[in-house]
């Protein structure tokens, strides 16, 4: 019956991160011993002090619709967070709370982009940017990068990608899937190029801000000349192990924030009131309250870099943030292993699923067909076992 569906949905790809996670769950339910390194989801519990805030909110009868853009107390807490962590001055009218950073991104793209507008995607990039851009009928202009440049783009590449139709650039640092982090200096050099093009908006996805093992994350909007055309997106899912609570937010010029509120007022009416109350507590907590998780992710990062670089044909960058590693495995293309022909990265991930019982995600989903994404948001034991299986399957 798919011919009964709209072209819009028929042309929309499935989210390959969610699809691979669903496949792994399905195989597990059938009794297969699958280690799923597909989804980017902290394996920690939400900290107790945040859970308690949610329980209190229920008992205090927070149960009604909230303002579409979120409780004002939450928007004030977000302003405090932006000031404290990012040196950004926003007022509550410039903040919109949404059902996850994913909705903040969708709102931003849908309110700013007309059909045929061009959006510049430094590759590799997160899967859902492309899907939402497709919904908005934008033209995606990819800027490729490779492991040799630590998956970062240069000002020269950015300049070359800009045309009179460019409406937006999407930056994501720390990056999903590469883990690369742009330094302040690198961002300022890119901003220098954008200074010449006042009609280009910048969507800065900073959801992995706190999961950063190198120099502190730098917000693009902290560059004076960029602030009035940057939309800063963040959320609590990754830093506070709150993926299922679905709370994301953005800070933007007021007219853009207002448009995003109008958009979500027609689609979701805003996000869950209990999760919003708990988020106030999360954002007002000191960074020491989540340090144990970041420290553990760093140990796992080091472990994965060490173990994976011992496997033949895995070319690795050292991710400085997020919880993914993005090896270039193109060495295997054209080879036949255990009777399976590996033509591309998708074949490689299917091979790993079938022969090693390890779920990963193909780099094709992220705009880089030479790589695969491995999430190390899993226990050290599972990571060690997964690499052992991968290594065995490939020999």
Rounded to 5°, angle at Cα 299 from 297 and 301:
65
Residues with Cβ < 8 Å from 249, sequence gap 6 or more? Answer: 70, 75, 78, 95, 96, 97, 98, 101, 104, 233, 234, 235
Q: Which of 167, 177, 169 is nearest to 207 (CA)?
A: 177
Residue 1: CB atoms within 10 A of its CB come to: 4
Cα 125 from Cα 317, distance rounded (Å): 16
Rounded Cα distance between 51 and 30, Å, is 33
CB of 72 to ligand GLU, least distance (A): 28
Nearer to ligand GLU by Cβ, of 45 and 87: the residue is 45
What's the sign of the alpha-carbon dihedral 257, 258, 259, 264? Answer: positive
Q: CB-wise, 14 or 45, nearer to ligand GLU?
A: 14
> 100 and 147 in contact (C-beta within 8 Å)?
no
- Residue 15 or residue 157: which is nearer to ligand GLU going by CB? 15
Helices 72-86/273-284 angle, 10° precision = 30
Task: Report the residue number, 102 or 152, with the smaller CB distance to ligand GLU.
Answer: 102
CB of 149 to ligand GLU, least distance (A): 22
From the CB of 362, what's the least distance to ligand GLU, in Å?
13
Cβ 128 to ligand GLU shortest distance, Å: 6
> How remote is the C-alpha of 106 from its chain's centroid?
13
Q: Give kind and range of the element (H or E) at residue 281.
A: helix 273-284
**Least CB distance to ligand GLU at residue 333 (A):** 24
Q: How far is the CB of 102 from ligand GLU (least distance, A)?
A: 6
Integer angstrom CA distances of residue 85 from 78, 90, 140, 162, 206: 10, 13, 31, 31, 12
Q: How far is the CB of 20 from ligand GLU (least distance, A)?
A: 9
- Give the span between the Cα atoms of 174 and 166, in whole angstroms: 24
Binding site for ligand GLU (CB under 6 A): 15, 17-18, 39-40, 102, 126-128, 176
Residue number of the CB closest to ligand GLU reads: 40
Nearer to ligand GLU, 127 or 263 (CB): 127
Cβ at position 19, least distance to ligand GLU in Å: 9
The C-alpha atoms of residue 308 and residue 391 are separated, in whole angstroms, by: 9
| Closer of 268 and 391 to ligand GLU (Cβ) | 268
User: For tokens 């899907």, what's the residue?
Assistant: 131
In the complex, least distance from residue 125 CB atom to ligand GLU, rounded to whole angstroms: 11
CB of 12 to ligand GLU, least distance (A): 14
57 vs 207 by CB, closer to ligand GLU: 207
Q: Which is nearer to ligand GLU, 172 or 357 (CB)?
A: 172
Nearer to ligand GLU, 25 or 262 (CB): 25
Alpha-carbon radius of gyration of the chain: 21
Task: Residue 182: name the closest of 159, 207, 156, 151 by CA.
Answer: 151
Segments in 87-148 forming alpha helices (H): 101-112, 127-135
Q: What is the distance in angstroms between the CA of the first residue and the CA of the last residue of the chain?
A: 44
Distance CA 205, CA 250 (A): 9
Q: Which is nearer to ligand GLU, 17 or 107 (CB)?
A: 17
């Amino acid at each position: 019956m798919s011919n009964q569906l709209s072209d819009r949905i028929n042309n929309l790809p499935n989210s390959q991160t969610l699809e691979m996670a669903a496949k792994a769950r399905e195989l597990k339910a059938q009794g297969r011993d699958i280690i799923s390194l597909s989804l980017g989801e902290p394996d920690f519990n939400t900290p107790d002090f945040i859970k308690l805030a949610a329980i209190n909110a229920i008992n205090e009868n927070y149960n009604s619709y909230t303002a579409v853009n979120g409780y004002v107390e939450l928007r004030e807490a977000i302003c405090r967070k932006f000031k404290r962590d990012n040196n950004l001055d926003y007022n509550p009218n410039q903040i919109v709370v949404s059902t996850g950073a994913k909705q903040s991104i969708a709102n931003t793209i849908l309110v700013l982009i007309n059909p045929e507008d061009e959006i510049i995607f430094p590759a590799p990039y997160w899967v859902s940017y492309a899907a939402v851009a497709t919904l908005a009928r934008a033209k995606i202009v990819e800027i490729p990068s490779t492991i040799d440049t630590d998956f970062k783009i240069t000002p020269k590449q950015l300049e070359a990608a800009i045309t009179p139709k460019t409406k937006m650039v999407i930056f994501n640092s720390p990056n999903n899937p590469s883990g690369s982090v742009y330094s302040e200096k690198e961002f300022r050099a890119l901003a220098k190029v954008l200074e010449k093009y006042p009609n280009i908006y910048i969507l800065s996805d900073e959801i992995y801000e706190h999961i950063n093992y190198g120099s502190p994350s730098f917000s693009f909007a902290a560059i004076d000349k960029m602030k009035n055309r940057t939309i800063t997106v963040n959320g609590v899912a990754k830093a506070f192990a709150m993926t299922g609570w679905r709370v994301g937010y953005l800070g933007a010029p007021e007219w853009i924030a207002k448009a995003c509120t109008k958009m979500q007022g027609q689609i979701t009416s805003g996000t869950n009131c209990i999760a919003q109350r708990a988020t106030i507590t999360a954002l007002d907590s000191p960074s020491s309250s989540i340090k144990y998780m970041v420290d553990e992710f760093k140990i796992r990062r080091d472990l994965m870099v060490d173990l994976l670089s011992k496997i033949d044909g895995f070319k690795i960058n050292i991710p400085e943030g997020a919880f993914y590693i993005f090896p270039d495995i193109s060495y295997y293309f054209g080879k036949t292993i255990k009777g399976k022909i590996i033509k591309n990265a998708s074949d490689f991930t299917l091979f790993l699923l079938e022969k090693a019982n390890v779920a990963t995600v193909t780099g094709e989903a992220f705009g880089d067909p030479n790589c695969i994404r491995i999430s190390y948001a899993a226990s050290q034991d599972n990571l060690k076992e997964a690499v052992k299986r991968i290594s065995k399957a490939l020999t």
